[in-house]
Every structure is written in C-alpha cells, then in structure tokens.
Chains A and B, each alone.
Chain A
C-alpha cells in the first residue's frame, strides 16, 4: 500500500515538473517492449517508471523479465528477428558485444544532448563503443563504501577515516580500545575482489585499472603488488573479527553485519549500498546513527572514485516510441520515480538527492554523482574462470592471500591463472 501511495505521489509530483520542462510527443497507439533482468520489487518499481512514460505520451509500454541470463534471452530473440525495442543490460561487456554485432541503434543524435546534460563523462564513455553512443546508464550500484559502527569509533575517540593512512591508524586505535577492528567476509571470494578493486583503482589509477581489467598489464605488475601490500596492512590477522578462521567462515551477510550486532565483533566492514538492506534485516543497529558509512578511503591522495555496477538502457529498434523512451530514461524525471521508491541509486546528476527516501541512499547517490572516476567491478569483466568461479582465479587466490599475505607468490599465481583464462 505504501508503495502504491509513493508511486502515485511521485507520479503527481514529477509528472508536473516534467511537463513544465519538456514536452513529450503524443505516441498514442504505439507500443514499446522493454527487457530487463529485474523481477519482484525491482520489476514493480521499474514498471512505475515505464507507466510514467505511458502517462506522458499515451504509448503502451510492456516490460518483460528475462531472468539472470539476459544475454541468452535477448540474443536468441535477436537471431529470431524480434528483439525487444529496448533492453537494460547489467554489464558493459554485453553493450559492447551487441554494438559490435550491429544490433544496437546509435543514439548519439537522438539522446546525446540529454546524456551530455545529465551525466558525467565516465558514464558517457561506459555507454559508448568506439566513440559512438549506444547506452544510457539508468541504474547504478555503489560498491565503494566503508561501513562502520559509530558507537565503537566514538568510544575509541576516532573519526571515520577518509584516507588509507587514517584508516590504518583508526583501525589500530580501535584495536587498542579492545575491539577487533576489521570485518572481512573471507568466506565469499567476491567480497575480497571488491576490496582489491577499490584499492587498485585508487592506488594505481583508472588507466592502470583498465589495463589490468583487459589484461594488458600483467598481474605481476608493481601496481598489483602495491595494492596487495595495502590490503595486507588492513587484513592483519589480529585485526580480523573472530580471527582468521572465523573470517574464512564468514560469508557476505555475516561479514557485513559483524560490526552491527548487539555485541559487535568489529568496527569496520567493507560494503556496498546494498549492504544497508542486510544490516537493516539482520541487526538492531539503526542505519544512519550506529550503522554509518563513508566513501572507501582515498589511497595516496586519489580523488573520489567508485567501483560499482549498473544497468544500461540500449535500443534495438529504430522507432519513434522507443527513441522517446530512451530520451525519457536519460532525464532526471525518470530516475526520480524509482529513486523515491527506494532500493535504487541513479548516476544521473540531474536527480535531486533529496528525493531518495533515506539518508543512506542520499549519501550513496551523492558519492556516485560526485565520483570523478567510475569503474565497473573488475571481476565481473573477467572470463568467468578467472573472475567468477569460487575457489579459483581472483576469488580463490585472494582467499589464499588473506591467509598468507604472500604478495609476490599470489601475484604470480594470479598472472598464471589470468593468462590461462584469457587464452
């Protein structure tokens, strides 16, 4: 009920605003088919966005969920000659793949002006292939947050860290105050890859990060070893909540909530914007007061940078209604419909941050908008054998690194598994 109320409210508020800003053509009788991976609440919320478009233009919009394997579903429809008009792809690699197959409509002329107006250059680049614009990033996830228990930090007399050096000092001080400072979800390899990616993006810079992502530099590169060295500073076994063995048994949910239990066993946990849901569901800690976060600390003077994920809207068929919907998705008005419903952050800089229903999302969305650098989760862009399989590649070897802190040995093994996977 509350959601329905919110949708209506948002539609009323924003509908008025949009009509004042922009006149949408009358598209009565035309229809658009949209595909995406979302289901459940996410699907309902995105449908609210589409309904808003339908109200504005009179077009009929139909959303269908492809499940997680959108590449296969859309790819099959494409081969059958009946692709969806628009699809929201969860990975930039898919955008590149479809663009290279010539399946996508170049939206430079139709939507380029809105993208220039509302998006940072990083997002335009992520939506482009060889300089041609194909995609509008509609949804983004921020995986560059450091969650902390504000009560424990207060008891230890430290501020939330903004730089890596402050982080190390804060961790030592918290440790002196009698609390193990760091919660690492060492049971799930992918959380360790996120730690690594955040440090490498900051210590080595975006260019090196891109080269490593594409395996243009080797994993034995000094930048990798430097990042591993930083991690070893924080992953000291004495500092880990419940010790090394407890860390190796902790999956993402456990690793996320350990600082926020009634008897907290840690002060800091690496996390993402979606950590908020886990903390709210599994602990009594109040978000925004006890459970708070800052942007992942800057390393060696690096600027604001975000590692994350997102969904990009791409257009398969060149018709008026689809083009107008692509334009609509690039406007803040579209993003604000979902933003008001929660569980969503937009990279669109035109979105009024106060629209987000809680402080956590506002803060996370601000970090996204202000990021000078945005990069996709590196492990998601690797061949699955190296970046997406438990017990091997990045996942398995970072678990080993957590135990051994052997910088050179792990870098060497990472390189040998990476070169095998990239063959």
Chain B
C-alpha cells in the first residue's frame, strides 16, 4: 500500500476518496465471508470455550473441572485412549493401502475403472455403510457374513458334531471331559449295563433313523449300554420313558486305564455293547466328535474387537480417497526418474522404495495428515456399528461429546470441554496442512 501511495501523487482529497472506495470494495468482497465465518465459526468456538468452564446447568462457573473430569473419569478416558489408537493405527494403514493400490493400478489400462471401484465406498453415506457393517459383523452366522465365513472355514478343519448342544442329564453317571465328550463316573465289568442319558437336544433335531430307546441287554461276556435323549415332557430323568428315542451314531469307546481298548457306534435305538474279559474294570467314553459345537465365530462387536471392526469399516470407506489423491500425484510424476533408475538396473521394488516413494512423500504426508484430521472426529461409524451396549468400549471423543451433551445427561459443560479438547488435538494437524498448502501454492 505504502509504495502505491508514494507513486501516486494525486491530490489529498482524491486520495481519501480512493481509500474509502477501496475500503468499501474490500468490505463488499470480504465482509459476507467474514460475517459468516465469525457467526458460524469464531463465535461458536469462543462460546464453546466459555461454556466448557461452566457446569451442566450453565449457571455456575467451575473453572477447569470439566477438563479434569475428562482425564479422571474412566468413560472419557476410554474415549481419549480410543482416539489415540485410531490416530496411530488408521491413517498409516489408509496411506499405505492407498499408495499400494495407486502404484499397482497405475500401469493398468483400465486403471480409472479400478480406482473408481475403490473410490466408490467414499460416496456411500456413513450411516448406510455403518448399518451394512453392523450386519456384516453380527455375532449370529445367520446374519453376519464375517462370522459365516469364519465358521465355514473353521468347519473344514473341524466339522461340528451331530449333537452339539447335548449335555449329560443330571442322573446320568457321566462327567464332561476336558476338550469335549463324556466319560462314565462308574466302572463297568462283564455282564454290566450302563444308562447314559443326555439332554439339551430338541427331539425333532434327532436323526430320522432314531428309534425308541431300548434297555440294553448284557451277556456274561459283554458290557452293554444305551445313549438316549433322556427328555420328554413329564418324563422321569434317568429312566427310559416311552416317548424317548435313542441317539444313533454316537462314537463310544471302552477304556482301560486311560487306554482305548475298543470302539463302536450306537445303533438306531442308542444301544452299544463291547465284548470284554470277565473281571476287567472299564470306563466308557462318548467321543467329543459327536458333541463338538459349531464354531462360535468371532465376537466382532464384543468388547475386545469392536474398535477393530469399526476400523475395518472406516478403512474400507476411506482408502479410495487416498488412492485417488496419490494416483493423481503419480500421474503428474516425472517418469524420467523412474526410467533412469530402471535403465541403471534397479529392480521394481528398488524403484518403488528409492524413487517413487521419496518423490511422492509430500503427497503422502498430505493424505496422512488429512486422514488424521478425519479420524480424530470419527463419529458416525462408531455410533452405528457399535451396539448401544458396546458404545462404552468403542467410545471416541466425538461420540462422548455428543452423548454427554445430548444423550440424556445434558451436560453441555462436559460436552463443550470435550469439543475443545478435540479442537486442540486437531490444531497441529491443521497447521501442518496449511503450511504445506502455502509451500506448494
């Protein structure tokens, strides 16, 4: 300005006039933006800062008590901890995946189609994606795709038994074995019979060939027994009631001092028998394979894995953003450097490590820092994917801010303090990005 005034040797009155016009011009252009920024950004930030030093009712000044609460209350501490985990884990993964996909797709003739496919999840609303992942990770394999996959793979190695829910009835002389299956609590010898009643299986879930259970008959040279579903309405536990059927195909083992001496399967009436030498004492085992439960799947939405499940959803959504930005950087890259390196005999991996990545570094940093900012304010996916009962475990600052303010307790003091904390955490990342833009601009 000063030089402009010196150069311009116009009369004084004229000079004042011009200054006024200039001021009006500047006001006309900047004014609306400043007013909007002031009303919607600056004023709320200041107000939130002030509000964070008052209690829930807003009537009493409490100083920094709300901030103290954030760092002493377990609930908010978990939110702070989870936010830190998010910032440390998610942005590097997204940036790395973005880099890999961008570089790999760079040479594809149909790379636009590929990048569009990866970019697509970003267009989906967080709510819709959250609902989808909530179903995907549901515990029940009938609903949750993830657990259905886990279960079908697990079943290749360990198929479930025919009677997964069966338990010994309270009268049965059986004890559950470690690792599944049952063993008789009494010893049997030649001429003995043994009644092994099981419960916990729905009658209509028995195999079709199952027949009415029959009392076992032992000869002087054998041990005989029956395995049957010892449950019928009004039936007596421990006795074979008329409506009760045998459990076929249960593998039975005859044991002698922890050694298997004979094996057999129960017949359609649940009966089995072993030829034994007289005098020898034996125990009977029902093998675990018949009672193995279906693989329970993974408690994706349980206390342990909930944050990981949400992160997977978030990475799925946000990787497209990284691919597009890094891909754009890659396209504008000077190819000669890479070609020169290849001519010098560098392998593709070396080119990637020593040429591509260093040249792309500024763009990688922008992606990383932008993702950090986005991750810090994560709210929607956490709120939707985590069942209400799991939200305390999945808590993050933005969610806790909302819950404290609007979730019933209506503590706007604590909510404002959480908002300020979030702002303070975001500022360094913001400054970095601004400096970066300036430099490149």
Interface residue ranges, A against B (CB under 8 Å): 154-158, 175-179, 186-189, 242-243, 245-246, 248-249, 251, 384-385, 388-392, 396, 399, 403
Q: From B56, which residue of chain A is reached at the shortest CB distance?
A: A385
Is the pair A384, B409 in contact by a Cβ cutoff of 8 Å?
yes
Q: Can you list 8 contacts pairing A with B, beta carbon distance less than 8 Å?
A: A157-B235, A158-B233, A176-B167, A189-B389, A389-B408, A391-B388, A391-B391, A392-B392
Interchain CA distance A246-B302 in the complex, whole Å: 9
Q: Name the distance in Å between A154's Cβ and chain B's nearest Cβ.
A: 7
Interchain CA distance A385-B406 in the complex, whole Å: 11
- Selected from A188, A242, A392, the residue in CB contact (under 8 A) with B409 is A392
Interchain CA distance A155-B301 in the complex, whole Å: 34
- Selected from A155, A187, A246, A385, the residue in CB contact (under 8 A) with B388 is A187
Residue B205 at the chain A interface, CB threshold 8 Å = yes
- Selected from B203, B387, B391, the residue in CB contact (under 8 A) with A249 is B387
Q: Name the distance in Å between B269's Cβ and chain A's nearest Cβ.
A: 20
For A177, what are the chain B residues with a Cβ–Cβ distance below 8 Å?
199-200, 202-203, 231, 233
List residues 196-231 of chain B with CB under 8 A from any CB of chain A: 199-203, 205, 231
Interchain CA distance A176-B387 in the complex, whole Å: 30
List residues 349-373 of chain B with CB under 8 A from any CB of chain A: none
Interchain CA distance A187-B54 in the complex, whole Å: 33
Is the pair A390, B233 in contact by a Cβ cutoff of 8 Å?
no
Known: A242-B139, A243-B296. A251 touches B388 (CB 8 A): yes
Interchain CA distance A116-B216 in the complex, whole Å: 70
Q: Name the distance in Å between B400's Cβ and chain A's nearest Cβ.
A: 9
- Selected from B201, B205, B390, the residue in CB contact (under 8 A) with A248 is B390
Residue B165 at the chain A interface, CB threshold 8 Å = yes
Q: Name the distance in Å between A76's Cβ and chain B's nearest Cβ.
A: 17
Is the pair B389, A399 in contact by a Cβ cutoff of 8 Å?
yes
Is the pair B403, A391 in contact by a Cβ cutoff of 8 Å?
yes
- Selected from B301, B390, B408, the residue in CB contact (under 8 A) with A384 is B408
Q: From B408, which residue of chain A is reached at the shortest CB distance?
A: A389
Residue B109 at the chain A interface, CB threshold 8 Å = no
Is the pair B165, A178 in contact by a Cβ cutoff of 8 Å?
yes
- Selected from B140, B200, B388, the residue in CB contact (under 8 A) with A176 is B200
List residues 178-204 of chain B with CB under 8 A from any CB of chain A: 199-203
List residues 234-272 of chain B with CB under 8 A from any CB of chain A: 234-235
Known: A249-B139, A249-B301, A396-B392. A178 touches B409 (CB 8 A): no
- Produce 1/0 per residue, B291-314, CB < 8 A to A: 000001001011100000000000
For B201, what are the chain A residues with a Cβ–Cβ distance below 8 Å?
178
Interchain CA distance A246-B140 in the complex, whole Å: 7
Residue B48 at the chain A interface, CB threshold 8 Å = no
Q: Name the distance in Å between B44's Cβ and chain A's nearest Cβ.
A: 23
Known A155-B233, A248-B390, A385-B411; further 15 A-B contacts with Cβ < 8 A: A176-B167, A176-B231, A177-B200, A177-B202, A186-B389, A188-B388, A246-B139, A248-B302, A249-B138, A249-B139, A388-B409, A390-B388, A390-B391, A390-B408, A391-B395
Is the pair B389, A187 in contact by a Cβ cutoff of 8 Å?
yes
Residue B232 at the chain A interface, CB threshold 8 Å = yes
Interchain CA distance A389-B410 in the complex, whole Å: 9
- Selected from A155, A243, A246, A403, the residue in CB contact (under 8 A) with B203 is A155
- Produce 1/0 per residue, B394-438, CB < 8 A to A: 010000000100011111000000000000000000000000000
Q: From A386, which residue of chain B is reached at the shortest CB distance?
A: B409
For B395, what are the chain A residues with a Cβ–Cβ distance below 8 Å?
391
Residue B75 at the chain A interface, CB threshold 8 Å = yes
Residue B82 at the chain A interface, CB threshold 8 Å = no
For B199, what are the chain A residues with a Cβ–Cβ distance below 8 Å?
176-178
Interchain CA distance A388-B409 in the complex, whole Å: 7
Q: From A176, which residue of chain B is reached at the shortest CB distance?
A: B199
For A389, what are the chain B residues with a Cβ–Cβ distance below 8 Å?
403, 407-409
Residue B169 at the chain A interface, CB threshold 8 Å = yes
Is the pair A178, B411 in contact by a Cβ cutoff of 8 Å?
no
Q: From B406, which residue of chain A is reached at the shortest CB distance?
A: A389
Chain A-chain B contacts (Cβ-Cβ < 8 Å), number: 95
Q: Name the distance in Å between B372's Cβ and chain A's nearest Cβ.
A: 26
Interchain CA distance A178-B247 in the complex, whole Å: 14
Interchain CA distance A156-B205 in the complex, whole Å: 14
Q: Name the distance in Å between A192's Cβ and chain B's nearest Cβ.
A: 9
Is the pair A390, B203 in contact by a Cβ cutoff of 8 Å?
no
Interchain CA distance A246-B24 in the complex, whole Å: 66
Is the pair A245, B139 in contact by a Cβ cutoff of 8 Å?
yes
Is the pair A385, B138 in contact by a Cβ cutoff of 8 Å?
no
For A178, what are the chain B residues with a Cβ–Cβ distance below 8 Å?
165, 199-203, 205, 231
Interchain CA distance A144-B408 in the complex, whole Å: 24
Interchain CA distance A391-B303 in the complex, whole Å: 13
Is the pair B392, A391 in contact by a Cβ cutoff of 8 Å?
yes
Q: List 3 tightest A-B contacts by C-beta distance, closest first.
A: A157-B233, A178-B202, A389-B408
Q: From B395, which residue of chain A is reached at the shortest CB distance?
A: A391
List residues 157-184 of chain B with CB under 8 A from any CB of chain A: 165, 167, 169
Known: A155-B233, A245-B299, A245-B302. A385 touches B408 (CB 8 A): yes
Residue in B167, B200, B205, B410 with the greatest tally of chain A CB atoms within 10 Å:
B200
Interchain CA distance A155-B395 in the complex, whole Å: 44
Interchain CA distance A293-B390 in the complex, whole Å: 30
Q: From B139, which residue of chain A is reached at the shortest CB distance?
A: A245
For B302, what are the chain A residues with a Cβ–Cβ distance below 8 Å?
245, 248
For B408, what are the chain A residues with a Cβ–Cβ distance below 8 Å?
384-385, 388-390
- Selected from A154, A158, A175, A248, the residue in CB contact (under 8 A) with B387 is A248
Q: Name the distance in Å between B180's Cβ and chain A's nearest Cβ.
A: 15
For B389, what are the chain A residues with a Cβ–Cβ distance below 8 Å?
186-189, 248-249, 391, 399
Interchain CA distance A177-B200 in the complex, whole Å: 5
Interchain CA distance A179-B205 in the complex, whole Å: 11
Q: Name the distance in Å between A23's Cβ and chain B's nearest Cβ.
A: 48
For B232, what are the chain A residues with a Cβ–Cβ distance below 8 Å?
157
Interchain CA distance A245-B390 in the complex, whole Å: 10
Q: From A413, which residue of chain B is reached at the shortest CB distance?
A: B74
Q: Name the distance in Å between A345's Cβ and chain B's nearest Cβ.
A: 27
For B233, what are the chain A residues with a Cβ–Cβ distance below 8 Å?
154-158, 177
- Selected from B169, B234, B296, B388, the residue in CB contact (under 8 A) with A157 is B234
For A396, what are the chain B residues with a Cβ–Cβ distance below 8 Å?
392
Q: From B230, which residue of chain A is reached at the shortest CB distance?
A: A176
- Selected from B75, B165, B301, the residue in CB contact (under 8 A) with A245 is B301
For B296, what are the chain A residues with a Cβ–Cβ distance below 8 Å?
243
Q: Name the distance in Å between A415's Cβ and chain B's nearest Cβ.
A: 16
Q: Name the distance in Å between B102's Cβ and chain A's nearest Cβ.
A: 37
Known: A242-B140, A248-B302, A384-B410. A390 touches B403 (CB 8 A): yes
For B140, what are the chain A residues with a Cβ–Cβ distance below 8 Å?
242, 246
Interchain CA distance A189-B205 in the complex, whole Å: 34
Interchain CA distance A392-B407 in the complex, whole Å: 10
For A156, what are the chain B residues with a Cβ–Cβ distance below 8 Å?
231, 233
Is the pair B202, A179 in contact by a Cβ cutoff of 8 Å?
yes
Is the pair B234, A176 in contact by a Cβ cutoff of 8 Å?
no
For A188, what are the chain B residues with a Cβ–Cβ distance below 8 Å?
388-389
- Produce 1/0 per residue, B132-166, CB < 8 A to A: 00000011100000000000000000000000010
Interchain CA distance A176-B229 in the complex, whole Å: 10
For B411, what are the chain A residues with a Cβ–Cβ distance below 8 Å?
385
Q: Name the distance in Å between A46's Cβ and chain B's nearest Cβ.
A: 27
Interchain CA distance A176-B203 in the complex, whole Å: 11
Known: A157-B234, A177-B231. A390 touches B407 (CB 8 A): yes
Q: Name the distance in Å between A338's Cβ and chain B's nearest Cβ.
A: 30
For B387, what are the chain A residues with a Cβ–Cβ distance below 8 Å?
187, 248-249, 251
For B390, what are the chain A residues with a Cβ–Cβ distance below 8 Å?
248-249
